[in-house]
Structure 1
Amino acid sequence: MEKKKREYGKQVITLALCILFIAGLILGAAGIIPTVGKQPTEEMVPAAGYILAGQEEDKEKNSTNIQLYARSAVLMDADSGRVLFGKNENERMPMASTTKIMTCILALENGNMEDMVTVSSYAAGQPKVHLGMREGQQFRLKDLLYSLMLESHNDSAVAIAEHIGGSVEGFAKMMNRKAEEIGCSDTWFITPNGLDASAADDEGDERVHSTTAKELARIMRYCIEESEKKEEFLEITRTQSHFFSDAEGKSSYSCNNHNAFLSMMDGALSGKTGFTNNAGYCYVGALRRDGKTFVVALLACGWPNHKDYKWSDTRKLMQYGLENYEYRDVYEQPELSPLTVEGGVPDSGRPYDGAYAKISVKEQDQELQLLLKDGETVEKKIRLPHTLTAPVESGSEAGSIEYYLDGELIREYTIITDDDVEQMDFRWIAGYIWSLYAL
């Protein structure tokens, strides 16, 4: 009896050793042993009609020759934020009273329109153009915003800044923080009214109150497209006239909109003029027509007596956008092949067959409409590793598809796995061999 037990034990041990040996061979052949816990290097794998990242051809950007008076100018697609035309668009320059679009949107976002604003001596002492307020007077914040945007009153700007930010300096910090939030790295606010000024920044470097045409357009885009107070901003800036009194009802005031662009072109949406001796005439405005929204920003667009240069440039740029750009749906459903899963259990259940995971674009908005002109093309790039490493869970992020226009990323779509793939470990191999032996 004891002899039979010893013989049976030897058979079990021999079988176990055989299983381990065969498992080792299978695991080695499957590439598991050297790759367990090691993630493959991510590389670009091509799919039909797609260009690999880093392998795209250099293409010369279409140049458009538009003669403008402005030293710096931008035509921007307000939907995407893409610059459709630029002239010295990244040059820092003073922007005068176009500053007040930032003052207005910050007051709308951080204040109560029925708040009573008390006028300080500093606010009352601001130079023209001004409302003519007196120290100690009180006004509704809402009324001062109409004064700010329709008549461009400098004293109203300071009164608003002191009320919202506690001081002009505190409000300037809010302005710069908001500018940074919306992607403006070359903009520096010092005053809420746009009067020429210089001051040290946080690093101690002397800077002047300035922006770029591109970033001024970006700020306007935020005001009319992205801010939670965009409707209130548009209502104020499109109003032709506004009448109000101070809190005591002793003094009455009237404001008329000086943005001539509102009656110049169909679809004119909003805008703000500006002028100082250093900045020259400046303007930022928006237009919406036929489902397209454009923003124009102009800096240093003439000095006296050339007040109308800004209207000529604005019309020219808006007309260029309307006539040359149309929306096109550029999204294409990609053909994605399954990815090899190293160390994965094949669907067949046979260890020497390859394991694969199907992949697809994650369910999301798969429409991509871009404002394009004739001849413009979109580059599509796919980013995927050559292989995945088991285990793989369905719904895991595997890569991405990116759409580029003029070298800038416009939209990114996530590619996910559609299958669960189990890891082919020793336990699974042992079970597989045992099942063969049992048969």
Structure 2
Amino acid sequence: MKKISLIFVLILLINVLTAPIVLSRSHSFSTDLMSESAILIDAKSGKILYEKNAKHQMYPASITKIATAIYAIENGDLDDMVTVSKKAREVEGTRVYLEGGEQVSLKKLIQGLLINSGNDAAVAIAEHLEGSPERFAFKMNKYLKKNIGTTQTNFENPHGLFAPNHVTTASDMAEITRYAMKNKVFREIFGTVKLKWKGTSWNTTLLNHHKLMREIPYEGVTGGKTGFVNESGHTLVTTAKREDFHLIAVTLKAPSSTAAFNDTIQLLDYGYQNYKAFKLTKGSTFHTKQGKSYELTKNLYYTLLNEDKLKGRVTENGFLQISNQEKKVLTSIQLKEEKDMIESKQASLSKVNKLYIVFLIVVALTLGLIVRVCSRIHRL
């Protein structure tokens, strides 16, 4: 187990984080975003780095498909073969040109959903998993509230075509994306730039609609989803990673595709130029002046401005609090007192020992039985 004193950790972090850094601008935007609503968060810690009308309900358009995809991945079998219905075949908007009666795997439909924004794929997924798009939307809303804690989201279909009550917020979409990005299959599909597609009536190469992944490469972009209907304007979700700093940017109701991408670049530039992400590793041990020892039982992620100077302390009830020079608590987490950890490990060891003893007894009885049977056979 890696043991690190609290003082040593804090000195190390302060030295690293206060090294001279040249910024191209201060930690505030010099230009207003053109999107009506936007948010930038650290995907690991969940910290909001920037927001504009982030809790205002807006029309999402096709970024709805992020929620559809993660619901399908976690609630379906990716190897299932889905039979495409006439209703899926005839849905309006962007499609992957599925044919009625065509057999397509659930995973392939999710690929068509996210990479080419296939509305027909969305309907086929919904009908396969829940019987109808309406039932699917109902179940998906419950899933989002339970697993992610969305508060201002109500989806009425799986694809994002306009409906008056089909709404979300930039804040909810950032959290939905944050949750989805924890899933390996979702990350793989979400980050796919191009994919060969062979269908009954359409053989092509799908190209991701997100320009920062193809036409205007931006350092670190790992995935994204575009959206547009007249009522929503241009919507955009983007994920990015530089070293171990993961960002999620959401922009809603931009007046044009160019404006949405420009706003996203501004958000990501702002995040990477002004903030740093840090992690304290599970198993680190902290010692107080009173002689108590505490252990971190899970990884701790937090985000801070480049100029922040860290201070930390362990409270009397075992909370590790990390604050900046203004005494603002950046993050706090409950630690486990080392004696509790020892008792827990001893209890686990005791349980293992008991199981081992039971195992030996069973083996001994079995061997005894085998010897007696062999003895009787020998006498016969």
CA distance in 2, matches of 1:154, 1:326: 38
2:261 aligned residue = 311
1:353-384 deviations in whole A, cap 9, x for unaligned?
xxxxx7542x2358755321134467868665
User: Where do residues 259-274 of structure 1 align in structure 2 (5 Å cutoff)?
Assistant: 259-263=210-214, 264-274=217-227
Q: 1:332 to 1:82 in 2, by over 3 A?
A: farther
2:333 aligned residue = 412
- Alignment of 1:256 onto 2:207: yes
Gaps of 5+ in 2: 1-6, 8-26, 341-380
- Alignment of 1:235 onto 2:188: yes
1:277-317 deviations in whole A, cap 9, x for unaligned?
11100000111112211110000011xxx221111111111
SS at match of 2:238: strand
- Alignment of 1:371 onto 2:303: yes
1:35 aligned residue = none
Query: Which structure shows the higher helix fraction?
Result: 2
CA distance in 2, matches of 1:87, 1:166: 38
Contact kept in structure 1, 2:302 and 2:330, CA below 8 Å: no
- Give the number of the structure whose alpha-carbon radius of gyration is greater: 1
Q: 1:407 to 1:216 in 2, by over 3 A?
A: farther
Q: 1:145 to 1:328 in 2, by over 3 A?
A: closer
CA distance in 1, matches of 2:128, 2:329: 40
Q: Amino acid of the residue matched to residue 166 of structure 1?
A: G
2:151 aligned residue = 185
1:244 to 197, 211, 224: 197
TM-score by length of 1: 0.63
2:367 aligned residue = none
1:384-430 deviations in whole A, cap 9, x for unaligned?
5xxxxxxxxxxxxx5544457897883312364959xxxxxxxxxxx
Contact kept in structure 2, 1:172 and 1:191, CA below 8 Å: yes
CA distance in 2, matches of 1:251, 1:79: 39
- TM-aligned CA deviation for residue 328 of structure 1: 4.9
Deviates more, 1:175-184 or 1:156-165: 175-184
1:295 aligned residue = 248
Q: Amino acid of the residue matched to residue 189 of structure 1?
A: F
1:80-99 deviations in whole A, cap 9, x for unaligned?
01110111111111111001
Contact kept in structure 2, 1:336 and 1:360, CA below 8 Å: no
User: Where do residues 428-439 of structure 1 align in structure 2 (5 Å cutoff)?
Assistant: none
1:104 to 60, 63, 69: 69
2:139 to 166, 170, 174: 174
Q: 1:136 to 1:404 in 2, by over 3 A?
A: farther
Q: 1:195 to 1:369 in 2, by over 3 A?
A: closer
2:276 to 293, 309, 326: 326
Q: Amino acid of the residue matched to residue 221 of structure 1?
A: R
CA distance in 1, matches of 2:66, 2:328: 30
User: Where do residues 390-429 of structure 1 align in structure 2 (5 Å cutoff)?
Assistant: 400-403=319-322, 410-414=331-335, 416=337
Contact kept in structure 2, 1:403 and 1:412, CA below 8 Å: no
Q: Amino acid of the residue matched to residue 183 of structure 1?
A: G
CA distance in 1, matches of 2:298, 2:99: 57
Identity, % of aligned pairs? 33
How many correspondences in the alignment? 307
- TM-aligned CA deviation for residue 327 of structure 1: 3.4
Q: 1:308 to 1:404 in 2, by over 3 A?
A: same
Q: Amino acid of the residue matched to residue 239 of structure 2?
A: A
1:350 aligned residue = none
Q: Amino acid of the residue matched to residue 279 of structure 1?
A: S
CA distance in 1, matches of 2:170, 2:142: 19
2:168 aligned residue = 211
1:323-373 deviations in whole A, cap 9, x for unaligned?
111235789946354xxxxxxxxxxxxxxxxxxxx7542x23587553211
2:100 aligned residue = 135
Contact kept in structure 2, 1:130 and 1:152, CA below 8 Å: yes
SS at match of 1:300: strand
Contact kept in structure 2, 1:114 and 1:142, CA below 8 Å: yes
Q: Amino acid of the residue matched to residue 262 of structure 1?
A: M
User: Where do residues 62-141 of structure 1 align in structure 2 (5 Å cutoff)?
Assistant: 64-141=29-106
CA distance in 2, matches of 1:85, 1:291: 19
CA distance in 1, matches of 2:298, 2:144: 31
Q: 1:332 to 1:319 in 2, by over 3 A?
A: farther
Q: 1:322 to 1:103 in 2, by over 3 A?
A: same
Q: 1:188 to 1:250 in 2, by over 3 A?
A: closer
SS at match of 2:254: coil
Q: 1:328 to 1:110 in 2, by over 3 A?
A: closer
Contact kept in structure 1, 2:96 and 2:202, CA below 8 Å: no
CA distance in 2, matches of 1:197, 1:295: 26
CA distance in 2, matches of 1:167, 1:214: 28
SS at match of 1:233: helix
CA distance in 1, matches of 2:123, 2:51: 32
CA distance in 1, matches of 2:328, 2:169: 21
Gaps of 5+ in 1: 1-47, 49-61, 199-207, 338-357, 385-397, 420-439
